[in-house]
Amino acid sequence: MMNLKIILRNPMSVKIQNFLHSPILLLGLLLTIISISYYPNIENPKTTNYSYINAFSYSYKFVVDENLDEKKIRRKDKKWIKDHFTLVENQYEYYPGRDQKLQNKVDKLFNKKYINRLNVNFHLLGTDSQGRDLLSLLLVATRNNLLLAFMTVILSICFGTTLGILTGYFLNRDEPLYFRSIQKFIITITNGISDTPMLAWAFLIWLSQQILFESTAEIRTIYMFILMAITYYSSILSKGIRNHLYELNKREFLSSAEMLGVNKFVIIYRHIIKSNLKNRLFSLSIMIITQAIFLEITLSFKPIGIGFTNTLTYGTLINSLLANSYSMNMIIPALFSLLLCNYLTYFSSKINK
């Protein structure tokens, strides 16, 4: 039944599916998000209205002409406008939201039609409590999270692949005798690390850092991810690679290549990494990216509070939702991060299949 379904499937839909599951699309998407986030207006979103603005809305300002004296406004109000509005290019301007009392007064003037309201910027996803464009914040947060996750992945691939190939192939032989002992020792250590809950490792690293060197929360968090990559994630990766290599060993082509006199490093590069491990490594890397994003959210989560505090990340954006939960806007970063992680997990499972 399944085979029949595959045969009858429209070739165009198969092409579309293949495109959707191609690593190039994923990498392209992630790199596009990172490069867009460096655009100056996005990196430093201007604060105009100092309050929440809903999605698909404009930020606005109140304006009145410079020649106030010619207008039919009460003298008291004229004086108030001159005191509280800023004179910019022949008109008095006021951006709302900074002070509730002032805002009430401005609203009264607006209702009396003494002053006008002008739209300033369009905000697709609205703004945060400080009036910063949420889409820009989200892009910058995505970039920071992805860069942190890429760093974690690169380090864990370097250490994890080395350990995995060492234990799964290089030391996985009976001669010389001490190879088995070294292999057992490394496996015991990596299994021990990967069996410990991730949060326990994170807490231990955090505690050691607190005591060993004084620095800001941001630097400590980056170091924590570096150490997590070297210890925890590389252990998980090495375990996955080792098990994969045990399966490859059963097919005996590695020993045949050795018998033919091929150099071991050539075998490692050509027969193991290039032809067999590429997809596995890719799917494991995506899994680590997802885990690193979730770990960042967990550690920066306010009740836990051992992650970033000032850097824009998903964790800090979600914390601002917890701090000011009267607007629906701040649920957007949470939903976006979950969607991204879901997509990555789905992608990883597709590659695994």
Partner 1 sequence: MNSFKKFIFNVFLGSLMIGIIFRIIIWLILIKFSNEGIHYPWSSTTAEIFNRLLFFESTSIFNHYISFLTVTLKITLISWLLCLTIAAILSVLSYNYLSLKKIINIIISLTNIHIFGGFLIIYFIHVKNDMPIPQSSFLAIILVIFCNGTLKTLVDKFTSLLNSIFNQQYVHFAKSQGISKWISASRQIKFDLFETAIEFLPFFLINSIIAELAFDGVKGLGSEMLNTFKATADQGYDRLDVIFLMIFSFVFISRFASFLYDEFKNNIKKSNVS
Q: How far apart are the first and last CA of the chain?
A: 19
Q: Is 259 in the site for partner 1 (CB under 8 A)?
A: no
The answer to the question of residue 5 lying near partner 1 (CB under 8 A) is no
Strands 86-88 and 116-123: unpaired
Q: Does 197 bind partner 1 (CB under 8 A)?
A: yes
CA-nearest of 60, 77, 61, 57 to 69 is 77
Crossing angle between the packed helical segments 134-165 and 234-250, to the nearest 10 degrees: 50
Give the shortest CB-334-to-partner 1 separation in angstroms.
5
Contacting partner 1 (CB under 8 A), which of 70, 83, 89, 195? Answer: 195
User: Does the protein bind partner 1 through residue 203 (CB under 8 A)?
Assistant: yes
Does 297 bind partner 1 (CB under 8 A)? Our answer is: yes
Is residue 223 part of the contact set for partner 1 (CB under 8 A)?
no
Integer Cα distance of 10 and 19 in angstroms:
14
Distance between CA atoms of 323 and 142, rounded to whole angstroms? 21
Q: Does 154 bind partner 1 (CB under 8 A)?
A: no
Sign of the four-CA dihedral 17, 18, 22, 24: negative
Contact 297, 338 (CB under 8 A): no
Regarding 129 and contact with partner 1 (CB under 8 A), the answer is: no
Select from 137-145, 165-173, 254-262, 319-327 the region that touches partner 1 (CB under 8 A): 319-327
**Is 13 one of the binding residues for partner 1 (CB under 8 A)?**
no
> What three-state secondary structure class fits 347?
helix
Contact between 331 and partner 1 (CB under 8 A)? yes
Stretch that binds partner 1, among 90-98, 124-132, 188-196, 214-222 (CB under 8 A): 188-196
> Widest CA span of the chain, in angstroms?
100
* Count of residues touching partner 1 (by CB under 8 A): 33
Question: Residues in the site for partner 1, rule: CB under 8 A?
Answer: 188, 191-192, 195-200, 203-204, 206-208, 210-211, 294, 297-298, 301, 303-304, 318, 321-322, 325-326, 331, 334, 338, 341-342, 345
